[in-house]
Amino acid sequence: MMNRITVRLPRQQIVLLEKLVESGQFPSVSETVRYAVRDLLERQGDRVMRESDLISVKF
């Protein structure tokens, strides 16, 4: 099950997201955003989890 969140973006970013959909690279703006979030989490998620584990150990 997917949860819904609301994100506010500058108009220019929304236009670029829509252009990615129009060009056929993604089926929808929502899927484009999900792809970007997955990519960010794959690149940064492990580091964040390690840092949060270190912070929780200190307390």
Q: How far is CA 34 from CA 1, 14, 26, 55, 58, in A?
A: 14, 14, 10, 28, 33
Residue 26 lies in a domain: yes
CA–CA dist 35, 20 (Å, integer): 12
Q: In the chain, what percentage of residues exceed pLDDT 70?
A: 88
Is 30 part of a structural domain of the chain? yes
Report if residue 2 sits inside a domain. no
The number of folded domains in the chain is 1
Note whether residue 6 is domain-resident. Answer: no
Q: For position 50, what pLDDT does the model report?
A: 74
Q: Give the integer Cα–Cα distance in Å for 13 and 15.
A: 5
Residue 45 sits in which domain range? 13-58
What is the average per-residue pLDDT within 27-38?
A: 96
pLDDT tens across 39-59, in order? Answer: 998 888 777 777 776 555 554
3 within domain boundaries: no
Examine residue 4 and state whether it is found in any structural domain, yes or no: no
Query: 18: Cβ–Cβ under 8 A, 6 or more apart, which residues?
Result: 29
